[in-house]
């Protein structure tokens, strides 16, 4: 299961996390990332409460708002509340399902010949699905408390 490092929060929070930190994590919040074994639509709790950044700013009123394709605000803060403006690995359509074939060979490849779907953190409309890049480019992940 794709997990992120646990943060000391009690409500549904999300943040950007470096890919290397995600790979070391064993427990905690889930990453907004998909491959042939699963996706956020199948792994996440479909919350009826708002999703918010680490500073408390809401980005969606509930799961339906999160997967609508249009967030209230971009997901552009790290777990330390630092502004982050870059591409994020997702392999996930805005509705939370697997994009297919562009997940760095189920996240096992860092080869430039393989590709991954990315979102763009400063854009509330293209946060999950904007482009395909090669797997040699180190990128971060979105992390969601459940």
> Model confidence over 76-129: pLDDT tens digits?
998 888 899 999 999 999 999 999 999 999 999 999 999 999 999 999 999 999
Residue 78 domain-assigned (yes or no):
yes
CATH of the domain at 38: 3.10.100.10
Contact 135, 112 (CB under 8 A): yes
Per-residue pLDDT band at 28 (split at 50, 70, 90): low
- pLDDT for the residue 10: 34
Q: What φ, ψ does residue 3 adopt, rounded to 5°?
A: -120, 155
In this predicted model, which residue has the larger pLDDT, 133 or 14?
A: 133
Tokens of 144: 């969601």
Would you call 10 helix, strand, or coil by DSSP?
coil
The pTM (predicted TM-score) of the whole model is: 0.83
What is the sign, positive or negative, of the torsion defined by CA atoms of 103, 37, 25, 47?
positive
Residue 138 domain-assigned (yes or no):
yes
Whether the pLDDT of residue 27 is over 60: the answer is: no
What is the number of structural domains in the chain?
A: 1
> Model confidence over 34-79: pLDDT tens digits?
999 999 999 998 988 889 998 889 999 999 999 999 999 999 998 8
Query: Strand 51-53 relative to strand 13-18: parallel, antiparallel, unpaired?
Result: parallel
Residue 5 domain-assigned (yes or no):
no
Q: Which domain holds residue 116?
A: 13-144
| Cα–chain center distance at 92 | 8
Would you call 66 helix, strand, or coil by DSSP?
helix
């Amino acid at each position: 299961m794709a997990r992120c490092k646990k943060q000391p929060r009690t409500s549904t929070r999300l943040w950007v996390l470096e890919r290397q930190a995600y790979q070391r994590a064993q427990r905690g919040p889930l990453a907004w990332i998909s491959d042939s074994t699963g996706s956020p639509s199948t792994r996440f709790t479909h919350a009826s409460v708002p999703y918010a950044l680490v500073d408390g700013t809401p980005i969606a009123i509930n799961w339906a708002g999160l997967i609508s394709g249009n967030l209230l605000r971009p997901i552009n803060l790290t777990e330390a509340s630092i502004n982050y403006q870059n591409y994020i690995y997702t392999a996930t359509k805005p509705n939370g399902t697997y994009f297919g074939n562009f997940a760095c060979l189920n996240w096992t490849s860092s080869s430039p010949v393989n590709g991954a779907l990315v979102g763009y953190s400063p854009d509330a409309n293209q946060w999950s699905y904007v482009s395909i890049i090669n797997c040699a480019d180190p990128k971060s992940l979105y992390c969601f408390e459940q």
